Amino acid sequence: QVQLVESGGGLVQAGGSLRLSCTASALRFDAYIMGWFRQAPGKEREEVSRISTRGVGTYYADSVKGRFTISRDNAKNTLYLQMNSLKPEDTAIYYCAAGKAWSLSALPPSQYLNWGQGTQVTVSP
């Protein structure tokens, strides 16, 4: 059974940093595009970032560009999201997800196949 387990969330002051991790099991990790999503209370889930199978290509939402960095370690079956200069509006539950497509841009958010349970990130003013 495929499992994606996020960790690294927590409470941080505005301007601070957190690094999220997502460890995959029962999944050929290096065959999947990996993404980070977030959902704040009362808001729709939004895609934050995604990374290609070998980590060469990345995508960032405008709201996090220049502050967040996605990376992956295929040898460890682990996805990361380094979040710097955090803002209160970054407060949300963060989820990792795995999907397959022939290119990074060809994977609609709705077609990610596997999801983690989420980790809470709270940024205080």
Cα dihedral value 27, 33, 80, 123, nearest 10? -120
Give the pLDDT confidence score for residue 104 in this predicted structure: 87
Give the pLDDT confidence score for residue 36 in this predicted structure: 98
Averaged pLDDT of the chain? 96
Whether 82 shows a pLDDT value over 90: the answer reads yes
CA distance 69 to 124: 21
Give the pLDDT confidence score for residue 67 in this predicted structure: 98
Structure tokens at 123: 């940024």
Cβ of 65: how many Cβ atoms within 10 Å? 10
**Region at 84 (left for phi over 0; alpha for psi -120 to 50; beta for the rest):** beta
Query: pLDDT (tens digit, 9 = 90+) per residue, 27-45?
Result: 999 999 999 999 999 999 9
Give the pLDDT confidence score for residue 114 in this predicted structure: 96
Give the pLDDT confidence score for residue 105 in this predicted structure: 85
Query: pLDDT (tens digit, 9 = 90+) per residue, 41-56?
Result: 999 999 999 999 999 9
Whether 106 shows a pLDDT value over 90: the answer reads no
Structure tokens at 17: 């940093």
